[in-house]
């Protein structure tokens, strides 16, 4: 072999070995690849969502970030849905935790494409069910991805995103809006709002639901979730509510070391509202029997938010153990 060819071959071998060494040296929580996806979705009112009215909906493109965990072949995925403040640092902590154990992640941003950053002080800026459409549209993308095992996709969400996660499990909503041909393998809502009663909401997908909540949460009180869980259990559903003491709304920000509770200034909470679906998909105020609005007297302001490093770590451990068993990880 000519000397020049031997030199080139040696350089190629060295480059290949260097790339391999660098790949092997990656910390476990670092994904091997990141992909950004446009997600064709819809912006619609809650009544339009509940009645399946597509004609009056406004087309919108939101976005999702897919991080492929280290490993080969088709991997399990956790889809993450943010709350009223959009995608934040706590989401990143969960992404690292999942990637570290060989689970890919898909983070949905349902706000930026709609021109929103936060909706906490004005929840009427976006219908409470819009994020479910974004979730199902993301599932369509993932179900076709060559690096995704479509039977091992789990949905996880926080606060408003936790509410979307919880109700995305409804059979009725799947039939109306989920066109992916697959279902989520499990649903993991963190501190969701469970104050709304939808028609047929006892009929959920035959998949595990694992809710994580804090006892003193005054943004989305756990009591309404307890009542919903009892209804689901009575219907024979696989649902578990894990409740943590001394854990305010957003307690998993403790994964970042946050260890203080503060007022979420001017944020709206429906903690004392009883909302129910009426005829024609209209959400009604259960106390006044009038259509619900965020100007109703039951809507209050200034709930508390804050992290708890201890219970944040406990919830992470619980979620990881649940997923390791569900996904049959080694």
DSSP string, 175-232: HHH--SS---SEEEEES----EE-TTTT-B-SS-EEEEEETT-SSS-HHHHHHHHHHH
Q: Identify the H or E element spanning 9.
A: helix 3-25
What pLDDT does 153 receive? 98
Residue 165 CA to residue 170 CA, distance in Å, equals: 10
Mean pLDDT for all residues in the chain: 93
Q: Identify the H or E element spanning 258.
A: none
Confidence of residue 266 (pLDDT cuts 50, 70, 90): very high
Q: What SS3 state is found at 318?
A: helix
What pLDDT does 291 receive? 98
Q: Contact 215/171 with Cβ under 8 angstroms? A: no
Q: How many CB atoms lie within 10 A of CB 236?
A: 9
Q: What is the DSSP letter of 296?
A: S
Residue 156 CA to residue 83 CA, distance in Å, equals: 11
Over residues 280-305, the pLDDT tens digits come to 999 999 999 999 999 999 999 999 99
Axis crossing angle, helix 309-326 with helix 89-100, rounded to the nearest 10: 40
Q: What is the DSSP letter of 113?
A: G
Mean pLDDT in residue range 15-29: 58
Q: How many CB atoms lie within 10 A of CB 209?
A: 22
pTM: 0.92
Q: What is the DSSP letter of 325?
A: H
Confidence of residue 25 (pLDDT cuts 50, 70, 90): confident
What pLDDT does 24 receive? 59
């Amino acid at each position: 072999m000519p000397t020049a060819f031997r030199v080139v071959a040696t350089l190629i071998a060295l480059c290949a070995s260097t790339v391999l060494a660098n790949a092997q040296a990656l910390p476990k929580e670092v994904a091997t690849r990141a992909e950004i996806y446009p997600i064709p979705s819809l912006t619609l009112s809650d009544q339009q969502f509940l009645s399946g009215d597509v004609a009056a909906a406004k087309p919108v493109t939101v976005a999702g970030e897919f991080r492929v965990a280290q490993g080969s072949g088709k991997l399990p995925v956790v889809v993450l849905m943010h709350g009223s403040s959009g995608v934040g640092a706590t989401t990143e902590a969960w992404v690292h935790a999942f990637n570290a154990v060989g689970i890919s992640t898909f983070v949905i941003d349902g706000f930026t494409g709609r021109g929103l950053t936060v909706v906490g002080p004005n929840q009427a800026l976006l219908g409470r069910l819009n994020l479910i459409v974004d979730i199902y549209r993301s599932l369509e993308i993932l179900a076709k991805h060559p690096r995704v095992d479509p039977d091992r996709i789990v949905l996880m969400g926080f606060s408003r995103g936790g509410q979307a996660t919880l109700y995305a499990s409804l059979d009725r909503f799947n039939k109306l809006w989920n066109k992916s041909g697959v279902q989520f393998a499990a649903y993991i809502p963190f501190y969701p709002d469970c104050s709304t009663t939808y028609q047929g909401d006892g009929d959920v997908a035959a998949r595990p639901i694992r809710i994580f909540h804090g006892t003193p949460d005054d943004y989305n009180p756990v009591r309404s979730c307890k009542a919903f869980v009892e209804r689901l259990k009575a219907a024979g559903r696989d649902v578990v509510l894990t409740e943590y003491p001394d854990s305010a709304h957003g307690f998993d920000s403790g994964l970042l070391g946050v260890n203080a509770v503060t007022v979420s200034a001017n944020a709206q909470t429906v903690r004392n509202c009883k909302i129910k679906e009426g005829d024609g998909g209209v959400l009604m105020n259960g106390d006044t029997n009038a259509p619900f609005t965020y100007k109703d007297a039951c809507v209050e302001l200034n709930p508390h938010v804050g992290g708890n490093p201890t219970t944040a770590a406990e919830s992470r451990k619980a979620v990881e153990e649940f997923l390791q068993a569900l996904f049959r990880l080694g």
